[in-house]
Structure 1
Amino acid sequence: MAESEGGVKQQTLYISIAVALLVGFLMGIIYSDRSPQPGGQMGQQGGAPPQQMGAAQQQQQLLQAINSLELAVKQNPNNAETWTQLGNAYFDTDQPEKAIEAYTKSLAIIPGNPAVLTDLGVMYRRAGQPDKAVATFDQALQVSPGFEQAMFNKGIVLYNDLGKNEEARKAWQELLLVNPGARGPDGTPISEMIKMLDTFQGQK
């Protein structure tokens, strides 16, 4: 009996850890599908590798990029790519309202880019507008039904921000139909996330 009780306690511990990991994961991790920007966290077009740069230097390069891009869109306001790059720079510097404006202008010039729509949805979420975020992810999926980042992010916002657990589960199940091996940003398989979500729901 002692071994049995120990096994039950150990299993409960593992479940508790899994639930804690799930809660932490769903609190804010979300995908972005944008292109890397000069000096940004996702890569550079030259110079020292990101890991060799200090945070202050990266921030300075981003601010310089923003100044250049703001000037560029004033000189040529009909260039969708430049608006997208400006939105990406605002994204990296945590300026969601400005990023929303830049991405919206890019999409007004060239509508229907699923990657830009996905990043716009991320910025709506960061700006505290989860309903708009989900609607924007849906727009991306209308254009590109199998766009995995939008499907994943939709589930995150539905669960974490809107409390729509079943809709979140459905979004991730649809993602698995597109890619059975899909994983979250930290490498966690989506199938495991669904299992942990079910476990967490059962604990309530």
Structure 2
Amino acid sequence: MTDVAIIDYGMGNLRSVAKAIEHVAGDRSVVITSDPAVVAAAKRVVFPGQGAMPDCMRELDARGLRPVVLEAAATKPFLGICIGQQMLFEHSAEGDVPGMSILPGKVVRFPDEGMVAADGARLKVPHMGWNEVWQKKPHLLWEGIPDGERFYFVHSYFVAPADAALTAAETDYGLRFTSAVARANIFAVQFHPEKSAQAGLRLLDNFIRWAP
């Protein structure tokens, strides 16, 4: 049985995710897979994604992976990353497409105008680079990670949960947005832990040990 299955639906740099998880996984098996049977049998699942939401949803369905993602999100430790977080919600303004409706809420875009930092500097979209992540509730995946730690972001859209209790962290970029969500066996982040140095590795290590 696979310990960690990283879902491959043709979108994103999955090798960098796999290498980061392998770094903290010890003797646990880590596989990149598009085989629903392998995902279904894995002990825990990572759901990454890069690119545009409409393309990601189309490719997920083209590979017949939607049912096994829904099952995994309901039954086992599940980590969503970047678009893999956004796809969990009901609808995205990017391409005006429905998501998987695993979590209530929508995906919205940063404003193109009027985005300014606290010092008055103009902010560009996409939000790209390192930024602080402020924890909103305790969670095992935050263990050993200081509040306000910096993680790496690349995105123009972000999730707006319909239930405030879902928000596990927030980040400021012209406005305060939800940068991590958590419910039961699901934890999902807008930032890229695999690109976030020691803090990202610690979060992935915590995920490997998490038993919700």
TM-score (norm 1): 0.29
Greater Rg, structure 1 or structure 2? 1
Greater length-normalized contact order (CA 8 Å, ≥ 6 residues apart): 2
Q: Which has the higher strand share?
A: 2
TM-score (norm 2): 0.28
Q: Which has the higher helix share?
A: 1
